[in-house]
């Protein structure tokens, strides 16, 4: 492939590391920056990860050789972890940490307050899919966006040109089947939450006898110029669970081609390099990701979930090639040795110059020191990152200097040069933690408001029979034109209920332009409320002047009070409690107006892929199909073809009675969500809550159900 490359912006090659060996492999192989995590708050809890001392060493090493180090803090956190988070980041911040990669909006708020000059990068776990979401995060203080991996080059280009934000995008490695951050499969099926760094990867298991949820790894070596032209500023390699040999090999190969792209108008990829990448690790072959396509069977492994090829010999060969005698920096030195004067060692790296004086130089009584002996000892830089490549020695003849004195003065000079270089990165902070926000839930007197969300507008007549329901939420896709909206609106409002519209779970660039009816409803305040599950919807609604109630949904995660504050500041009037919170955590959350889901099949995954298309073909019908796991559990797959995404629902619904909730927990509102239920099934559930809200004894309907995380929670 040959491209004419015009974009002159320098590209950052960002490599992963799970430990110090991987870090050094990445640095030696040519990474401009490395991202890694400690033992807490990172989305790879099962990687080896770094101790705090190792993190500081990695930060220092990066800065000494002109590289950058980013810390992954890309999990949602709980209230009782806030102090620990502060204690964790503070010494790293003071050491000069370059940036943090963050998922939780509460963490964005805390870091902005504690460490205002620390750069914040929004993790792909925030699932930002449009310029609106990027602008909202920019308003929060985010400087760089790692967007959803599902975006096309055109969408990325639009975000960059609309917001000016740096974009960090994956160029190689594993893909999630779900939009990252919009997956609860591992959490609900096994209690290991991907939002807490503990994903058990249920997507790599068989469903209906094949691996239809297992995505292939991506490889983009041949389209790097296109990524650059789209405005991507950081090329990111996935792999914080991978060994040092993999990190060095992949980093080294991509370094070669980024350098070629930066120095040569003609770009061509050697087939041998592509073959080597395929032989390192591959899940049934690589794909190019979503940069050119919306989805497709050729992006799924189907027949095999695990790594098919692991050429260990090639790993070792490439590791040696890319790390041999690399990762050090050349400096110049000068030794002045005059009889009767202190030994002087001067070192210089760029603008950094330092001089250290040793003991007084003696005249030689017997064996004078030789210049080559001084040079030999001076060049023994050992574990230092420096190589003295140009050394000038100005010495008298017939002098004596003990070898130990040369070594001591050299070490002191190297230490002083190191200190001088790192000083500009050091920070001080006297920020104190404000614990006032952590004071428990706002309680409401009387019966909470009840919001009934229905995917099928055909249930409206049934809903209207129950007086305890205060509002009805309808999916925006149900309104095909003004007439259909008017009909539904009349049905809901004739019984005095409020009408809320639910925006799509995924909003890609152009959605509001392509749906003028929805835009008009918001602009004209023709609905009473909006439910949104993404930052795009939150930003757009906030900026339309909409005066109704704005409700944030479950994937705008709130497990701590600061997250609730940030989502409220962004425009949400009512915040849906995270389904990953247990009784104790719910009781401790300070949410001004919180909505709690009592009933409904929670979304396990929201994916740009389509199970029906993978198994058969695309039929664009906004319908429902089913997949089955090894135990025979049946998961509904709801197709939102108009916006091209699938929602895999849980095999059983939440069914929580008000008497199951923790004592004293009184949210502002409750939600019942009907997705694939028949009218008969919906009626049984509605009857149950009718009795509960009347204060009567009620037996749960005779269906399989789950309490979710209400009792157990997540780690």
Q: Name the residue among 22, 204, 130, 33 with its Cα closest to residue 539.
A: 130
- Helix axis angle for 131-140 and 105-114, nearest 10°, is 30
554 Cβ neighbours under 8 A, 6+ residues apart: 533, 576, 577, 578, 579, 597, 602, 603
Amino acid 43: pLDDT: 64
311 has pLDDT over 90: no
Helix (H, G, I), strand (E, B) or coil at 213: strand
How far is the C-alpha of 587 from the C-alpha of 567, rounded, in Å?
A: 19
3 has pLDDT over 60: no
How far is the C-alpha of 494 from the C-alpha of 486, rounded, in Å?
A: 12
How far is the C-alpha of 408 from the C-alpha of 597, rounded, in Å?
A: 68
How many C-beta neighbours within 10 Å does residue 135 have?
21
439 has pLDDT over 60: no
- What torsion, rounded to 10 degrees, do the Cα atoms 252, 256, 261, 263 define? 130
pTM of the model: 0.94
Q: Name the residue among 504, 508, 535 with its Cα closest to residue 104.
A: 535
**Which residue is it, tokens 């409002």?**
493
**Mean pLDDT for the chain overall:** 92
428 has pLDDT over 70: yes
Exposure string for 210-220, b = 16+ CB within 10 A, e = fewer: bbbbbbbbbbb
Q: What is the DSSP letter of 368?
A: P
Q: What is the DSSP letter of 659?
A: G
| Whole-number Cα distances in Å, 32 to 36, 273, 294, 597 | 14, 21, 30, 45
Q: If you average pLDDT over residues 222-251, what whole number do you get?
A: 95
31 has pLDDT over 80: yes
Residue 5 — pLDDT band, cuts 50, 70, 90?
Answer: very low
Of the chain, the percentage scoring pLDDT greater than 90 comes to 83
309 has pLDDT over 70: no
Mean pLDDT check: name the lowest of 150-154, 320-324, 555-559. 320-324
Mean pLDDT check: name the lowest of 5-9, 336-340, 584-588. 5-9
Residue 265 — pLDDT band, cuts 50, 70, 90?
Answer: confident
433 has pLDDT over 70: no
438 has pLDDT over 50: no
Q: Are strands 449-454 and 669-674 parallel, antiparallel or unpaired?
A: parallel
CB 24 within 8 A of CB 327: yes
What tens digit of pLDDT does each residue of 111-141 get? 999 999 999 999 999 999 999 999 999 999 9
How far is the C-alpha of 402 from the C-alpha of 144, rounded, in Å?
A: 53
Sign of CA dihedral 587, 589, 590, 595: negative
* Residues linked to residue 349 through DSSP beta bridges, in sequence order: 352
CB 306 within 8 A of CB 204: yes
Q: If you average pLDDT over residues 209-218, what whole number do you get?
A: 95
Amino acid 49: pLDDT: 80
| Whole-number Cα distances in Å, 66 to 25, 54, 389, 427 | 16, 18, 18, 18
**Which residue is it, tokens 């009767």?**
340
What tens digit of pLDDT does each residue of 80-109 get? 999 999 999 999 999 999 999 999 999 999
Cβ-in-10-Å burial (0-12, 13-18, 19+) of 678 comes to exposed
Amino acid 4: pLDDT: 39
460 has pLDDT over 60: yes
Helix (H, G, I), strand (E, B) or coil at 301: strand
CB 71 within 8 A of CB 36: yes
Q: Are strands 329-337 and 342-349 parallel, antiparallel or unpaired?
A: antiparallel
CB 647 within 8 A of CB 573: no
3-class SS shares of the chain: helix, strand, coil, % to 5: 35, 20, 45
Task: Copy the structure tokens of residue 263.
Answer: 């120095």
* Residues linked to residue 122 through DSSP beta bridges, in sequence order: 102, 145
Amino acid 248: pLDDT: 95
6 has pLDDT over 50: no
How far is the C-alpha of 199 from the C-alpha of 170, rounded, in Å?
A: 19
Amino acid 595: pLDDT: 97
Cβ-in-10-Å burial (0-12, 13-18, 19+) of 247 comes to buried
CB 344 within 8 A of CB 357: yes
What tens digit of pLDDT does each residue of 362-395 get? 999 888 999 999 999 999 998 888 999 899 999 9
**Which residue is it, tokens 């249920």?**
202
Residue 435 — pLDDT band, cuts 50, 70, 90?
Answer: low
Of the chain, the percentage scoring pLDDT greater than 70 comes to 95
| Whole-number Cα distances in Å, 20 to 17, 205, 366, 594 | 7, 32, 48, 43
What tens digit of pLDDT does each residue of 599-645 get? 999 999 999 999 999 999 999 999 999 999 999 999 999 999 999 99
CB 240 within 8 A of CB 47: yes
What is the length of the chain? 715
| Whole-number Cα distances in Å, 158 to 154, 265, 507, 508, 607 | 6, 24, 14, 11, 22
Helix (H, G, I), strand (E, B) or coil at 262: helix
CB 519 within 8 A of CB 544: yes
Amino acid 7: pLDDT: 56
């Amino acid at each position: 492939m040959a491209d004419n490359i015009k974009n002159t912006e320098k590209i950052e090659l960002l490599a992963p590391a799970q430990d110090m060996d991987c870090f050094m492999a990445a640095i030696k192989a040519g990474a401009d920056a490395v991202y890694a995590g400690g033992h807490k708050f990172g989305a790879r809890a099962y990687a080896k990860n770094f101790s705090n001392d190792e993190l500081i060493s990695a930060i220092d090493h990066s800065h000494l050789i002109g590289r950058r180090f980013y810390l992954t803090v890309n999990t949602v956190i709980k209230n009782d972890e806030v102090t620990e988070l502060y204690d964790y980041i503070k010494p790293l911040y003071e050491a000069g940490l370059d940036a943090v990669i963050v998922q939780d909006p509460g963490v964005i708020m805390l870091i902005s307050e504690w460490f205002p000059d620390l750069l914040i990068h929004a993790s792909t776990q925030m699932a930002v899919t449009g310029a609106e979401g990027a602008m909202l995060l920019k308003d929060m203080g985010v400087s760089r966006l790692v967007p959803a991996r599902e975006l096309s080059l055109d969408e990325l280009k639009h975000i960059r040109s609309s917001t000016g934000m740096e974009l960090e995008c994956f160029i190689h490695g594993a893909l999630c089947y779900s939009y990252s951050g919009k997956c609860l499969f591992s959490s609900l099926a096994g209690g290991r939450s991907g939002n807490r760094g503990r994903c058990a990867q249920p997507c790599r298991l068989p469903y209906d006898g094949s691996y239809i949820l297992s995505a292939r790894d991506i490889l983009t070596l041949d389209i790097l110029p296109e990524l650059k032209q789209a405005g991507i500023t950081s090329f990111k390699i996935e792999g914080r669970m991978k060994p040092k040999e993999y990190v060095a090999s992949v980093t080294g190969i991509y370094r070669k081609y980024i350098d070629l792209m930066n120095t040569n108008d003609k770009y061509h990829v050697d087939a041998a390099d592509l073959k080597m990448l395929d032989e390192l690790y591959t899940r049934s072959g690589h794909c190019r990701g979503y940069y050119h396509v919306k989805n497709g069977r050729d992006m799924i492994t189907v027949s095999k979930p695990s790594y098919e090829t692991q050429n260990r010999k090639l790993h070792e060969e490439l590791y040696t090639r890319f790390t041999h005698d690399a990762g050090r920096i050349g400096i110049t030195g000068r030794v002045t040795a005059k009889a009767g004067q202190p030994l002087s060692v001067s070192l210089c790296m760029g603008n950094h110059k330092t001089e250290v004086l040793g003991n007084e130089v003696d005249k030689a009584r017997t064996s004078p020191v030789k210049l080559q002996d001084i040079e030999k000892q001076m060049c023994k830089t050992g574990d230092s990152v420096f190589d003295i490549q140009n050394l000038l020695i100005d010495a008298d003849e017939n002098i004596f200097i003990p070898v130990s004195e040369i070594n001591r003065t050299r070490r002191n000079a190297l230490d002083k040069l190191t200190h001088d270089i790192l000083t500009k990165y050091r920070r001080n902070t006297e920020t104190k933690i404000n614990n006032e926000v952590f004071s428990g839930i706002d309680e409401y007197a009387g019966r909470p408001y009840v919001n009934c969300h229905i995917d099928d507008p055909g249930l409206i007549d049934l809903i209207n029979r129950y007086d305890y329901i205060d509002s009805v939420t309808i999916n925006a896709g149900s309104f095909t034109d003004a007439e259909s909206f008017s009909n539904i609106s009349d049905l809901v409002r004739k019984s005095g209920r409020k009408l809320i519209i639910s925006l799509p779970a995924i909003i890609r660039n152009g959605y509001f332009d392509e749906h003028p009816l929805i835009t008009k409803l918001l602009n004209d305040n023709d609905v009473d409320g909006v439910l949104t599950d993404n930052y795009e919807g939150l930003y757009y609604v906030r900026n339309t002047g909409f005066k109704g109630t704005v409700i944030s949904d479950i994937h705008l995660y709130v497990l701590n009070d600061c997250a609730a504050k940030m989502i409220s500041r962004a425009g949400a009037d009512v915040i849906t409690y995270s389904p990953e919170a247990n009784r104790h955590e719910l009781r401790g959350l300070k949410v001004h107006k919180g909505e709690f889901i009592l009933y409904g099949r929670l979304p396990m995954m929201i994916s740009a892929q389509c199970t029906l298309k993978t198994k058969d073909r695309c039929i664009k019908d906004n319908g429902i199909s089913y997949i089955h796991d090894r135990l025979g559990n049946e998961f509904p797959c709801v197709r939102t073809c108009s916006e091209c995404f699938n929602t895999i629902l849980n095999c059983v619904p939440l069914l929580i009675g008000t008497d199951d909730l923790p004592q004293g927990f009184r949210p502002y509102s409750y939600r019942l969500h009907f997705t694939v239920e028949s009218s008969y099934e919906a009626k049984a559930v509605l009857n149950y809550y009718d009795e509960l809200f009347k204060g009567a004894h009620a037996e749960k309907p005779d269906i399989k159900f789950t309490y979710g995380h209400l009792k157990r929670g997540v780690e």
